[in-house]
Structure formats: C-alpha cells, structure tokens
Amino acid sequence: MVEKSLAAVPVYPDVKLYANALMDMRVWEADGWKEESMSWKDSCYIHAGITMPESSIKGPDAQKLLSTVSINNCYKWPFGTAKHLVMCDEDGYVANHGLVIRDDENSFRESACWPWAAHRNGKLGFNVDMSIRNVFIFQIAGPTSLQVLERVTGENLRDVQFLGTRPTRIPGIDAEIEITRIGMVGNLAYELRGPVEIGPEVYDTVYQAGKPLGMKRLGWRTYVVNHVEGGFPQLNCTFTASAFADSVFMESFGDFVEKGFTGSIDPEDFRARFRTPFEVNWGWMAKFDHDFIGREAVEAESKNPKRTVVTLRWNPEDVIDIYASMFEKGDEYKTLELPCAQQQPSGGHADYVTKAGKKVGVSSATTYSYYYREVISHCTIDLDQAVIGNEVVVLWGDYGKRIKEVRATVERFPYLDLPRNQTYDLDTVPK
C-alpha cells in the first residue's frame, strides 16, 4: 500500500527511514545507503528531495533581469532549453545559482533556485511579472535512466539533448509533465517536473517501471555523495551562498543559517565559506559582453585567479584513527558520518586545508564513496597547490575542539570517471 505524504513523494512501508524537513516528508534512506550510492553507476535511482517552488519570470524585461543578475550570457539562448545560471553579489561571491528554463522570448522559469532575481529586482525595478507554483522535481539518474523513462512514457526520448527540455506524458496520469536532461551525478541523468498534486503517483509509476532495471530510491542520506563524486559544488552542501549574508533577503527565508556552521573554520570567517565562480570551476560561464552585478570583481579575478577546485582523497589510516578515538578515554575526534553528514542550510561542514602549516584551501562536503572505497571531499585550493598527487592536510573537527590532522592527496575533479552526461552516447542505451 502506498500513501500520500505532505510532499510529492509516496510513503512506502519498506523505506528504512523518512525525515521531516520543514513540513516536507523526505526519504532519508530507502534501499540502504550502500546500494543507493552504487545505483548511478550500475543502474539508476529516483530522488525526490527537492521541493522548492518553481518561480516564473515573464515580461518585456525578463531577459534583461536575468542578464543583470547572472554572469552568464542570457541572450544566445534557444527556446526550450535550460541554463545553469550563476548569480553573484557586488563583491563577486556566488549569491545564488540554479537551473533556469527559457520557454519563449519573454518567459523563463527558475527551478530549485532561491528567488534571488526577484529580490534584486526590488531595487532594479524591471518590468516583469513573477509568480510561483509548487512542483515536484524528481531526479532519475544512471545508465538505465533513459530506459526507465521510455518505459514510463511510451515515447522515444532520445531527442532530449543535454540541457534540453520538452513536455511529455505518462499514460494514465491526466497531466502534462516536463523532462530535462540534467542531473547531479555526472553521467546520464534526467529530471521530471510537474504539478505537486500528482507527484506521488508519478514517483510510484516511475519506481515500479524502474525496479526490473535495478532502480533504487535515493535518500537524502546519500544524495550529496553524487555531488562530490560528480564534481557539482552546491550551495547548502559544499559552500555557503553569500545571499545568506544579505539581511533583507534572509528576512524572508529564516534566521536558522548560522546554526549550521560547523568545521575547523572560525565561525567568524565567512569568506572561507563563500565561493567565487572561479573557486568552484564556474568561471568559464562568465561572459563580459553585458553588465551584471559583480562584474568588476568577477572580471578582475578572471585575469588573475588565485584558487580553483579539486577533489581530495583522504588518507585511510588517518580516517581510521578518527573512528579509533571513540574507543579511547577523553575527547574523541569529530565523528565522520557515513556516507556523509546531514546537509545543512549554511553549507554544512567546512575545514581549513594546510600545506607546511600554511592555510592553502578549504575542504567541504566530506563523504565516503562506497564505489571507490575512499573518503573524498571538495577543496577550493590555491592554484599552485592544485597539482594531482600533492599531499596536503585537512584540519578535521569543529572550531575550538579537538582537531585531527588528516593527510589528503589532490586528485582529479570531477572524481567520477564514467561517461559524462554532456557527451553520453545514447546509441549504447538499449531501446
């Protein structure tokens, strides 16, 4: 028996654990975190943890607004496609980012994205109409994801290119839904979106069709692992958006942010938790053919970048020592949770990274990759230290408490070494 919950996800009796987050029922762990973490390599998963409303921006100045708040070029943008827009503050720090879909000349939709554009338009005063609707966002990712979706819809979906978006339907469900080829795993992945009211029915239909192809129900306990393996920095997970430092903006989104600050970084060192586009490998998106908020700072950094992002592979002996401390008297080291710690609105846990005692970077989103049998993390690091094989030290722990110096090696970014979604050969996918 499948019941409806407060969010667009069914309640299954065999799910191991649900979590209630801001009145949304979310799957925390469904099929076992090890099986879930293997799903996007061996088969596929369905994830339903993103429940943010979809924002619509329409009007004669819609394109101008998005261009003003984003580092991207928003003019060479075909209808029916999506872009990952990166939005900065005046100092060039990432204030917000997300997927934005262009429907026609003057109509755009923001998906899984803070309403930063609407906030900035309060001062800009562009001629736009804005509205929101509650939608479900289901991520279906992994090598069998396309097969599952073609089974569900009864359609050939091979025409959906990377970042392409188009409507589709599921027989028996009386509503149009939308499919986009995008995801957080690095390899083949899609998103489905539609009215939140039909979410549980869509989720269960996709899941039942996917079970014969090995589909797993990915929970929040494992979700961030795909970001870290796949090379997708993410606000709320791997860094703190500078929007959280905007008191006017935060009046509408709560004052809970500071409660999430953990890690060896000084809680007053907000700069260490912020990121510029270049520090998360998004600098290439910046186009200096238009004026945008933060352009002066972003353009200056483009000429003299100081940091980039890498993957750190943690020394297993030092990781084992973290767990060994729990069996000793006295203060133990901060527990390294498996596969990762609970996601927090501020960007979660972040640690200083040193070389010969000097601070050279910041490590975040520490996760255990069951696929690689390694602990890995993202690290924004000085350019001269971003050399594969370079050994650095992560100061693991919480500020003012016991700190474990963990040796770590600079590795490739992204870390997942499977075919990428952008260039995935769909001819290899059985029909």
- The string of pLDDT tens digits covering residues 363-406 is 999 999 999 999 999 999 999 999 999 999 999 999 999 999 99
In this prediction, residues 93-119 reach a mean pLDDT of 93
Same-domain status, 41 and 68: no
Give the type of residue at 267: P
Q: What is the CATH number of the domain that holds 168?
A: 3.30.1360.120
Query: What domain range includes position 331?
Result: 242-411
How is residue 354 written in tokens? Answer: 């040193």
Beta strands 45-50 and 216-218, pairing class: parallel
Residue 345 has pLDDT above 90, yes or no: no
Q: Which helix (H) or strand (E) holds 108?
A: strand 107-111
Cβ-based neighbour number of residue 101 at 10 Å: 23
CB-based contact 162:181 (threshold 8 Å): yes
Each residue of 241-277: pLDDT tens digit? 899 888 888 887 654 344 568 899 998 888 899 999 9
Same-domain status, 111 and 81: yes
b/e map of 220-244 (b: 16 or more CB within 10 Å)? bbbbbbbbbbbbbbbbbbbbbbbbb
Same-domain status, 24 and 170: yes
Residue 143 lies in a domain: yes
Question: Pick from 106, 133, 160: which residue ends a domain?
Answer: 133
Residue 364 lies in a domain: yes
Q: What is the CATH number of the domain that holds 291?
A: 2.40.30.110
**Cα–Cα nearest to 83, from 59, 53, 113:** 113
**Cα–Cα nearest to 289, from 117, 71, 64:** 71
Residue 4 has pLDDT above 60, yes or no: no
Same-domain status, 76 and 174: no
Residue 17 has pLDDT above 90, yes or no: no
Q: Kindly indicate the confidence band of residue 159, based on its pLDDT and cuts at 50, 70 and 90.
A: very high
Number of domains in the chain: 3
Q: How far apart are CA 272 and CA 274, in angstroms?
A: 6
Same-domain status, 394 and 321: yes
Same-domain status, 19 and 116: no
Same-domain status, 200 and 314: no
Same-domain status, 113 and 261: no
Q: Kindly indicate the confidence band of residue 20, based on its pLDDT and cuts at 50, 70 and 90.
A: low
How is residue 345 written in tokens? Answer: 């609105």
φ, ψ for residue 70, nearest 5 deg: -120, 145
Q: How far apart are CA 59 and CA 61, in angstroms?
A: 5
Same-domain status, 261 and 389: yes
Q: What torsion, rounded to 10 degrees, do the Cα atoms 93, 97, 102, 108 define?
A: -90
Q: Kindly indicate the confidence band of residue 155, based on its pLDDT and cuts at 50, 70 and 90.
A: very high
Residue 234 lies in a domain: no
Q: What torsion, rounded to 10 degrees, do the Cα atoms 54, 55, 59, 63 define?
A: -100
Each residue of 206-229: pLDDT tens digit? 999 999 999 999 998 999 999 999
Q: What is the DSSP string of 3-46?
A: EE-SSSSEE-TT-SEEEEETTEEEEEESS-HHHHHHHHHHS-EE
Same-domain status, 97 and 152: no
Residue 10 lies in a domain: yes
How is residue 100 written in tokens? Answer: 């934005």
Question: Pick from 102, 133, 164: which residue ends a domain?
Answer: 133
Q: How far apart are CA 204 and CA 202, in angstroms?
A: 6
Question: Pick from 107, 133, 159: which residue ends a domain?
Answer: 133
